[in-house]
Structure 1
Amino acid sequence: MTAESSTRSALMPAGVLRASINLGNPILARWDAARAQATGVSVDLAKELARRLQAELQLVVFDAAGKSVAAVTGEQADIGFFAVDPLRAEGLLFTAPYLLIEGSYLVRENSAIAANEQVDAEGVRIMVGKGSAYDLYLTRELERAQIVRADTSPAVVDEFLAQGVDVAAGVRQQLASDAARLKGLRLLPGRFMVIQQAMGTPRSRGIEAASYLSGFVEEMKASGFVAEAVVRHHIEGAVVAPSRDA
């Protein structure tokens, strides 16, 4: 898959591919303290895209999804790795998803809440990561429960406990990890949403850039690149999204 010079100029007008990396979702990326660098599926995809564009790669790393989205929307970065959402699509052009992950709820073991359907009730408070995909989704969908926001997604469960909130919402794998770390907590069965992880670029970059990025994602899925990255980074619970034409 070769990029025309016009495509390269549209995708990375500064001549360097600036990739926004969100450390707030451990499915996509983590900070490797030993090597002092970000690592993960999204980082691997960014490196491969830069290789194909024959471009220098610059990672712009953030601790929360909202900050990462703002960087790309505001053109401080050229591409990013985000959950697809209608509000974000106002400023971004998305590819089809490359990974599907689950959004779930966590409660205390002694909570009377036993099912997802019981969460949206008067008096129930739900802790979410500010600007996350599930924050945006629940803000639209909930009718009775109240949303409380932590600064970042990794801080959700700690803030849920510290503030005495009823429910924590987030990526299932992050919640499960926190439940194992803290004890006395349980995940509700099932999921309240499927989070579609895709790549995005500023709307101002145009259809040519977005089409190239979409083709890249489809090739990365079809070739096994995404599946291999999931295994390499020991990611559990995420599945490779079906092809765009499936």
Structure 2
Amino acid sequence: MQVTEALQRAFAPTGRLRASINLGNPILATRNPSGGAPTGVSVDLATELAQRLGLPLELVVFDAAGKSVEAVRSERTDFGFFAIDPLRGQGIHFSIPYVLIEGSYLVREDSMLMENGQVDQAGHRVVVGKGSAYDLFLTRELRHAEIIRAPTSPAVVDTFIAEGAEVAAGVRQQLEADAGRLAGLRLLPGRFMVIRQAMGLPDRGGPIAFEYLAVFVKDVIGSGFVGAALSRHGILGAAVAQFDEN
């Protein structure tokens, strides 16, 4: 698609393309330890989109997915990177997924829990990151276990320890990292969900922006851009999403 002034205004009415960056998911973005600026797959995608649109980029950083979603929904930012979920679809237009991520459970080494199917029992407390994709999913799916919400996804395991809860739920890579820094923890085998990461625009973007975003996401998948970004940032366990080219 040709980049026009109308397209630029549809994406960035302020003249700057404001990207909502969530640091709560380490697969998408983290703080650069040396300079403090965010880095990661979502930052690379935001930079590429801004360059193609010929717009200056502004990164607006949040520590939790829910805050990042609300910033786009309220049009304080122009787009973001979110897990697709029915609740998040209110006021936001999603692209097709570009990355698939596993949601997993973590327990103590001496826990009697051995399988994902054993988690949803009365008396079990499952710690999740407030407003995260797996919070939304487990709120719908769990019938017997109690959900405890940590303020952010990176705080889930510390909250799990502090509360003496039975299960921590989150992105597999984050849980693996926490299990590596804290003794006596293990992940249950397999996954309880697949998190479909997509890009999202506020509804006011309209058809012209939605169409351009669809073309952009298909191109960065098909060209290998997303896969290269995952490799460049050392992300293991996340898969590039596939799409129907017809």
TM-score tier by shorter-chain length is over 0.9
Q: Deviations over 1:120-170 (max 9, x none)?
A: 111111000000000000001111111000000000001000100110000
In the alignment, is residue 138 of structure 1 matched against residue 134 of structure 2? no
What is the CA–CA distance in structure 1 between the aligned matches of 2:4 and 2:113, rounded to whole Å? Answer: 55
Give the structure 1 partner of residue 94 of structure 2. Answer: 94
Kindly report which structure 2 residues correspond to 1:43-82, keeping only aligned pairs within 5 A, or say none: 43-82=43-82
Q: How much has 1:183 moved relative to structure 2? A: 1.4
What is the CA–CA distance in structure 2 between the aligned matches of 1:149 and 1:238, rounded to whole Å? Answer: 24
Q: How much has 1:2 moved relative to structure 2? A: 3.1
TM score, norm. by length of structure 1 = 0.98
Give the structure 1 partner of residue 191 of structure 2. Answer: 191
What secondary structure does 1:199 align onto? strand
In the alignment, is residue 14 of structure 1 matched against residue 14 of structure 2? yes
Q: How much has 1:3 moved relative to structure 2? A: 2.2
Q: Deviations over 1:178-231 (max 9, x none)?
A: 001101011001000000000001012212211211110100000110010000
> Unpaired runs of 5+ in structure 2?
none
Give the structure 2 partner of residue 219 of structure 1. Answer: 219
What secondary structure does 1:21 align onto? strand
Native 8 Å contact 1:2 1:53 kept in 2: no
What is the CA–CA distance in structure 2 between the aligned matches of 1:174 and 1:164, rounded to whole Å? Answer: 19
Q: How much has 1:6 moved relative to structure 2? A: 1.8
Q: Percent identity of the aligned residues?
A: 61
Q: Deviations over 1:61-86 (max 9, x none)?
A: 00110110010011000010000000
What is the CA–CA distance in structure 1 between the aligned matches of 2:139 and 2:75, rounded to whole Å? Answer: 26
Q: How much has 1:36 moved relative to structure 2? A: 2.0
Report the AA paired with residue 61 of structure 1: V
What is the CA–CA distance in structure 2 between the aligned matches of 1:139 and 1:91, rounded to whole Å? Answer: 21
Give the structure 2 partner of residue 156 of structure 1. Answer: 156
Q: How much has 1:244 moved relative to structure 2? A: 4.2
In the alignment, is residue 166 of structure 1 matched against residue 144 of structure 2? no
Name the stretch that deviates more: 201-210 or 106-115: 201-210
Give the structure 2 partner of residue 127 of structure 1. Answer: 127
Report the AA paired with residue 132 of structure 2: S
Q: How much has 1:245 moved relative to structure 2? A: 3.6
What secondary structure does 1:228 align onto? helix
Report the AA paired with residue 123 of structure 2: G
Native 8 Å contact 1:127 1:147 kept in 2: yes
Report the AA paired with residue 81 of structure 2: F
In the alignment, is residue 24 of structure 1 matched against residue 16 of structure 2? no
In the alignment, is residue 111 of structure 1 matched against residue 106 of structure 2? no
Q: Aligned pairs, how many?
A: 246
What secondary structure does 1:210 align onto? helix
Q: How much has 1:4 moved relative to structure 2? A: 2.8
What is the CA–CA distance in structure 2 between the aligned matches of 1:92 and 1:3, rounded to whole Å? Answer: 22
Native 8 Å contact 1:218 1:244 kept in 2: no
What is the CA–CA distance in structure 1 between the aligned matches of 2:189 and 2:34, rounded to whole Å? Answer: 36
What secondary structure does 2:175 align onto? helix
Report the AA paired with residue 224 of structure 2: G
> Unpaired runs of 5+ in structure 1?
none
What is the CA–CA distance in structure 1 between the aligned matches of 2:219 and 2:127, rounded to whole Å? Answer: 37
In the alignment, is residue 85 of structure 1 matched against residue 85 of structure 2? yes
What is the CA–CA distance in structure 2 between the aligned matches of 1:40 and 1:139, rounded to whole Å? Answer: 29
What secondary structure does 1:147 align onto? strand
